[in-house]
Structure 1
Amino acid sequence: MGEPHVVTLRATRAGDLDALFTFGQQAEAVQMAAFTAPDPSDRAMFDAHWRRLLDDPRTASRTIRADGTVVGSVGRWFEDDTAEITYWIDRAHWGEGIATRAMRLFLDTLPDRPVRARVAADNAGSIRVLEKLGFRQVGTDAGFANARGAEIEERIYELE
């Protein structure tokens, strides 16, 4: 499939969770994201996590759609009073520009600055997305990556 015609965001709904759970099972995506739930195949844990997100008024969770089809999610939460963002795209749609467009749409709705993002140091695709959006690397950290069963380097990016 080529680049989608229209990328849109909507508030995440309970009906989106089946697709989002399926995307979170993709082995290559889990490996690349690295910092995942301890057991991405645990649906009860997934549902409990999403219930907390959807019930928290400080958290913004959006479903990404490309040409009307659910292809991922983007979200914002606060860590030490600093906004942090994350996204996840269905592996079948990597490289189509969806992440960059969805993140741009999402960032346009957020008044919070700075906004921070963390990414595994070897996740070149996500690093490209962040840099295209104007994020700049401000540091590094090491953390335990459940998906890899090891401590790995992560890069910390900020958008002012």
Structure 2
Amino acid sequence: MISLREVRDTDLPVFWDHLSDPAAQHMAAVTRGYHYDRSRFDTHWARIMADPDILMRTVLADDEVVGHVAMYGPPDEREVTYWIARAHWGRGIATAALTSLIGLVTTRPLYAHAVADNAGSIRVLRKCGFEITAHDKVFAEARATEIPEVLLTLA
């Protein structure tokens, strides 16, 4: 069973394990400094957890912390993001979690970004009603190069 709950401080070490996985970083491609440095991770998450405009939830699969989902940004530019531990990919968890998160708000449109070769993430977003609305290029720190990216919109 997949469920969401508010993030707890005890979730953060688990999130660190998920975000610092090199194979998952490569797939996500667009990483930030906090994916590689625990001190920066702690600072980043303290800011996120203190920001009332960020809707952040822990993803549970059978009561195990398996990732997180979030919605952030100004009301007319709200964006979704998620990260599921690699050991749990391909089981419908991201789709269920994102569907639940989207159901918590009526704000539309919502936006998401994915690197063009991350077929799994694009599939999750499309199952949740997002459509590809633009193509761009983005610098992918995890791959140390610029790569194609898609913008998806949920109207």
Fold-level match, TM-score > 0.5? yes
Match of 1:55 in 2: 50
Count of residue pairs brought into register by the alignment:
155
More helix by share: 2
- Given that 2:139 and 2:146 are in contact with CA atoms closer than 8 Å, whether structure 1 keeps it comes out as yes
- Aligned partner of 2:32 in structure 1 is 37
RMSD: 1.2
Of 40, 44, 67, the residue aligned with 1:72 is 67
Give the TM-score, by structure 1 length: 0.93
Give the counterpart letter for 2:110 in structure 1. Answer: V
Question: TM-score, normalized by length of structure 2?
Answer: 0.96
The 5 A counterparts of 1:7-26 are 7-26=2-21
**What is the percent sequence identity of the aligned residues?**
44
CA distance in 2, matches of 1:35, 1:110: 26
- Per-residue CA deviations over 1:90-141 (Å, capped at 9, x if unaligned) read 1000000000000101100022100000000000000100111110011012
Whole-Å Cα distance in 1 between the matches of residues 25 and 75 of structure 2? 26
Q: CA deviation at 1:25?
A: 1.6
Deviations, residues 20-67 of structure 1 (Å, cap 9, x unaligned):
000112111100101111362300100111111111111111000000
How far apart are the structure 2 equivalents of 1:155 and 1:36?
16
2:97 is matched with 102
Paired letter, 2:69: V
2:142 aligns to what? 147
SS at match of 2:73: strand
Matches within 5 A, 1:67-146: 67-78=62-73, 81-146=76-141
Aligned counterparts of 1:44 and 1:100: Cα–Cα separation in 2: 30
SS in 2 for 1:52: helix
2:153 paired with 1:158 = yes
CA contact (8 A) 1:16 1:70 kept: yes
Whether contact under 8 Å (2:33, 2:40) holds in the other structure is no
**Shift of residue 81, structure 1, vs aligned partner:** 3.8
User: Secondary structure at the residue paired with 1:111?
Assistant: coil
Q: Which runs of 4+ in 1 moved over 6 A?
A: none
Alpha-carbon distance change, 78 to 71 in structure 1, aligned in 2, over 3 angstroms: same
